[in-house]
């Protein structure tokens, strides 16, 4: 079945061409200029497309109501998914591929690298996302990727990859494996806090990279949080931490020259201050206390995922060169090492923001 046959299932008759640079799904811009975005869901990664789209539609429908109540524009401030001709929110073709379509948000752009002001505005966007969803019953969402941000479970997956060593690469990355194993005792901190209820279960985005925020080209302000495939129950520490591990790095995620990779405390301060400004009064003291830990653990976790995929033979993340996933793992571990060196300063920045906004926490 060709692309025009797929778009017709959404009552759309416009040309489509490949679009974007995502690691997981295949994405097409529909129309010239684009009016819609068509995606083939990677069902090797998202094995429950019904659950995934159920989560996404429930959350975006709820957000549309909150945005409308606040006097905003729901057509631009959240994603709008199109039903198929049969009324479903995805289409399964004859080859068992699953497709979905949403409206393209024009006059907006995303960024790969942050200035402090830009990064702070992305923090406000993700904090508003959390705040608007505060009353949403998180437990009603499906965990479409079990233990997605369970850092202890991710360590277990790395250990399993090393034991199986299907690519034969484990011996050549012993230093990276040992780096992860040396931090094993820390990997359960957030999940233990969720278990004892000091960190509440919330609706979380789970992939809060800077490039998952659209900025209005006219105003320059954060407009919309996108890429909702991993919306699930979780901890806001996952969202906060993943944003920092990506956005507060001074280099690309796959930089091969590690001398360029640093954890930028100015960006950490900008993001943390803006995040707590918007959301701090809705956070528990334990959540605030664990903010620096969230940044470190999400970075460690991501590095372990890249390393495990390298050892498994690059079966999950798309690669574009030899050792691409290993390069990605090394950048994450370099950031973790720097966060450990700067832990006292990070805690001080959180405490400073708490005093500024009269919050109880770190």
The answer to whether the beta carbons of residues 60 and 80 sit under 8 Å apart is: yes
Instruction: Look at residue 23 in the predicted model and tell me its pLDDT.
Output: 60
Q: What is the pTM of this model?
A: 0.92
Taking 3-state DSSP, the helix, strand and coil percentages for the chain, each rounded to the nearest 5, stand at 50, 10, 40
The answer to whether the beta carbons of residues 70 and 49 sit under 8 Å apart is: no
- Which SS3 state, helix, strand or coil, does residue 123 take? helix
Instruction: Look at residue 53 in the predicted model and tell me its pLDDT.
Output: 97
Residue 24: what are its φ and ψ, rounded to 5°?
A: -110, -65
Instruction: Look at residue 359 in the predicted model and tell me its pLDDT.
Output: 95
Instruction: Look at residue 30 in the predicted model and tell me its pLDDT.
Output: 97
Instruction: Look at residue 360 in the predicted model and tell me its pLDDT.
Output: 80
Spans of the chain below 70 pLDDT: 1, 21-23, 361-362
Instruction: Look at residue 174 in the predicted model and tell me its pLDDT.
Output: 98
Instruction: Look at residue 263 in the predicted model and tell me its pLDDT.
Output: 98
Cα distance from N-terminal residue to C-terminal residue, the chain: 56
Instruction: Look at residue 160 in the predicted model and tell me its pLDDT.
Output: 98
Tell the residue number behind the tokens 């919330």, with chain if given.
202
Cα–Cα separations (whole angstroms), residue 65 to 9, 16, 74, 77, 328: 27, 31, 8, 11, 39
Domains of the chain: 3-105 (3.30.200.20), 116-357 (3.90.1200.10)
**Structure tokens that stand for 300 in this block:** 């460690």
pLDDT in tens, 73-115: 999 999 999 999 999 999 999 999 999 999 999 999 999 888 8
């Amino acid at each position: 079945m060709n692309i025009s046959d797929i778009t017709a299932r959404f009552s759309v008759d416009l040309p489509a061409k490949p679009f974007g640079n995502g690691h997981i799904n295949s994405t097409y811009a529909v129309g010239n200029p684009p009016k819609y975005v068509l995606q083939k869901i990677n069902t090797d990664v998202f094995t429950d497309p019904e659950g995934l789209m159920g989560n996404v539609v429930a959350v975006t429908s709820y957000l549309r109501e909150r945005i409308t109540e606040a006097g905003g524009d729901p057509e631009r401030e959240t994603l709008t998914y199109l039903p198929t001709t049969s009324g479903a929110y995805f289409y399964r073709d004859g080859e068992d591929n699953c497709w979905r379509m949403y409206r393209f948000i024009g006059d907006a752009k995303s960024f790969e690298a942050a200035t402090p002001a830009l990064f702070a505005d992305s923090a406000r966007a993700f904090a508003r996302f959390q705040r608007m969803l505060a009353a949403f019953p998180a437990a009603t969402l499906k965990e479409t990727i079990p233990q997605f941000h369970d850092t202890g479970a991710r360590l277990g997956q790395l250990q399993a990859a090393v034991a199986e060593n299907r690519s034969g690469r484990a011996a050549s990355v012993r230093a990276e494996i040992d780096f992860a194993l040396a931090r094993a005792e820390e990997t359960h901190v957030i999940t233990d806090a969720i278990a004892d209820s000091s960190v509440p279960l919330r609706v979380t985005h789970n992939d809060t990279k800077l490039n998952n925020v659209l900025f209005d080209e006219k105003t320059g302000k954060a407009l919309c949080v996108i890429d909702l495939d991993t919306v699930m129950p979780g901890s806001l520490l996952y969202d906060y931490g993943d944003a920092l591990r990506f956005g507060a790095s001074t280099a690309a995620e796959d930089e091969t020259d590690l001398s360029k990779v640093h954890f930028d405390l100015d960006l950490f301060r900008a993001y943390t201050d803006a995040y707590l400004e918007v959301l701090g009064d809705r956070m528990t003291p334990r959540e605030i206390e664990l903010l620096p830990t969230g940044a470190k653990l999400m970075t460690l976790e991501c590095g372990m995922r890249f390393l495990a995929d390298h050892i498994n033979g690059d079966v999950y993340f798309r690669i574009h060169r030899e050792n691409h996933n290993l390069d990605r793992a090394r950048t994450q571990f370099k950031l973790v090492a720097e966060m450990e060196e700067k832990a006292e300063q990070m805690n001080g920045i959180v405490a400073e923001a708490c005093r500024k906004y009269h919050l109880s926490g770190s």
